[in-house]
């Protein structure tokens, strides 16, 4: 197949990393992949990057100019299937890796993390969402979890028959329990942690990820006396570091390129996100043999059924319930939980995701 992907950036968060893995994986299977972007540091292996000129005078201008220019650039050639990764008004397939912006705003308002006012940027994003989820904006939708599928159906009235849930995959070699013996000890030594229990949280955008909830939990009473590591970036990173220094055994590490090594040092991963379409770190932690404490607001929590149900809380804002789940994760049943987590991750290798993606895009291409 000759396939076009559209997304404004190739570097950034989880969606960008997923795009690169999907593009290079499909290219390795013999498909011709072109990625239309406004900015790219490097091309994924076997993939052609096509730059789309945009207006760079401000965030709204960058967003809207790419959304309008990219489909026009793609339309000048013939493709078997065109995939938009969000915020482009026309494509064959919309791949939704971050949930709907409408649901995100509603969740943050409910948590008193933002007010009801909509600035120009948020109004522009909502306008683009309405366009891409309208009947003439897509032929089909890929959702990364059932939770996201429900958001798309409820927020924009997209028929369930148009939405396919494709869970992400995980690198089972990079994330492996065997790395605990060497990498785990090395990281603990580097960070001066010692042999006590360690909880780890990873993500960008600390409020959406619920890291403020973890800081509050550790200030009140560190669960099972565990140390807490927060890895990732935030525009108020300095503030979080000052809060961490004010109480509890907490380290705010900032952005890290060695997530696999950090997971090897952790005894539990905590994902208390207020809104999370999937959460790759859930599968990565499971692959590394690390029990995961999370909430039902996280799409990947759907994959923990039967292996960690008692570690999935209804409301991450409930610090008492969250703390109790963390204590269970670190408890005497840890070895069984670790083995069960790894076993579940082995059901979702990246090759399985590529198989399902390739098949689905083939269906859309034949119908097109």
Domain 2-169+349-367 shares a fold with domain 177-345: yes
CA separation for the pair 69, 51 (Å, rounded):
11
202 phi/psi in degrees, rounded to 5: -130, 135
Query: Looking at the predicted structure, is the pLDDT value of residue 77 above 90?
Result: yes
CA separation for the pair 201, 101 (Å, rounded):
23
Domain segments of the chain: what residues?
Answer: 2-169+349-367, 177-345
Tokens at residue 275, please?
Answer: 């809104």
Cβ atoms within 10 A of the Cβ of 178, count? 11
pLDDT tens track for 93-138 = 999 998 899 998 988 888 888 888 889 999 999 999 999 999 999 9
What 300-306 contacts at long range (C-beta under 8 Å, 24+ apart), as own/partner pairs, is 300/145, 300/167, 300/168, 300/271, 300/276, 302/145, 302/146, 302/147, 302/167, 303/167, 303/344, 303/348, 304/344, 306/344
Architecture (CATH level 2) of domain 177-345: 3-Layer(aba) Sandwich (3.40)
CATH match for 2-169+349-367 among 3.40.50.1240, 3.40.50.2000, 3.40.718.10, 3.55.50.30? 3.40.50.2000
Query: Looking at the predicted structure, is the pLDDT value of residue 142 above 80?
Result: yes
Q: Report pLDDT for 15.
A: 84
pLDDT tens track for 220-270 = 888 988 999 999 988 888 888 887 776 679 999 989 989 999 999 999 999
CA separation for the pair 80, 78 (Å, rounded):
7
Q: Identify which has the larger pLDDT, 30 or 58.
A: 30
Q: Report pLDDT for 247.
A: 63
User: In the chain, what percentage of residues exceed pLDDT 90?
Assistant: 77
- The DSSP line for 5-74 is EE-SBSSSSHHHHHHHHHHHHHHHTT-EEEEEESB-SSPPTT-EEEE-----SSHHHHHHHHHHHHHHHH
Q: Report pLDDT for 42.
A: 79
Q: For 245, what's the count of Cα atoms within 13 Å in the CB-facing half-sphere?
A: 7
pTM above 0.75, yes or no: yes
pLDDT tens track for 266-302 = 999 999 999 899 999 999 999 999 999 999 999 999 9
Q: Report pLDDT for 194.
A: 86
Average pLDDT across the chain, whole number? 93
Q: Report pLDDT for 236.
A: 85
């Amino acid at each position: 197949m000759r396939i076009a992907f559209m997304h404004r950036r190739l570097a950034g968060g989880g969606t960008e990393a997923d795009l690169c893995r999907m593009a290079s994986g499909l290219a390795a299977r013999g498909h011709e992949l072109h990625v239309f972007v406004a900015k790219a540091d490097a091309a994924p292996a076997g993939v052609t990057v096509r730059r789309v000129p945009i207006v760079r005078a401000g965030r709204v201008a960058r967003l809207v100019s790419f959304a309008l220019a990219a489909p026009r650039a793609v339309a000048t050639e013939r493709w078997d299937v065109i995939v938009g990764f969000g915020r482009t008004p026309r494509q064959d397939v919309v791949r939704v890796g971050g949930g709907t912006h409408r649901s995100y705003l509603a969740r943050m308002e409910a948590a008193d993390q933002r007010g009801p006012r909509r600035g120009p940027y948020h109004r522009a994003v909502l306008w683009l969402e309405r366009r891409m989820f309208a009947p003439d904006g897509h032929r089909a939708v890929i959702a990364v979890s059932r939770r996201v599928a429900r958001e798309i159906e409820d927020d924009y009235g997209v028929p369930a028959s148009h939405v396919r849930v494709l869970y992400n995959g995980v690198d089972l070699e990079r994330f492996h329990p065997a790395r605990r013996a060497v990498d785990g000890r090395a990281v603990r030594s580097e960070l001066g942690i010692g042999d006590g229990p360690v909880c780890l949280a990873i993500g960008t955008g600390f409020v959406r990820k619920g890291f403020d909830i973890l800081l509050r939990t550790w200030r009140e009473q560190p669960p099972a006396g565990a140390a807490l590591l927060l890895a990732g970036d935030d525009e108020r990173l300095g503030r979080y570091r000052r809060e961490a220094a004010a109480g509890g055994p907490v380290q705010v590490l900032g952005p890290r390129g060695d997530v696999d090594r950090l997971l090897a040092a952790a005894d539990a991963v905590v994902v208390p996100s207020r809104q999370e379409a999937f959460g790759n770190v859930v599968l990565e932690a499971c692959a590394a043999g690390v029990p995961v404490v999370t909430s039902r607001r996280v799409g990947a929590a759907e994959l923990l059924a039967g292996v960690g149900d008692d570690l999935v809380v209804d409301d991450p804002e409930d610090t008492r319930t969250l703390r109790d789940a963390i204590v269970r994760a670190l408890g005497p049943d840890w070895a069984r939980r670790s083995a069960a987590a790894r076993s579940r991750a082995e059901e979702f290798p990246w090759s399985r995701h590529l198989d399902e993606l390739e098949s689905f895009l083939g269906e859309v291409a034949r119908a097109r």
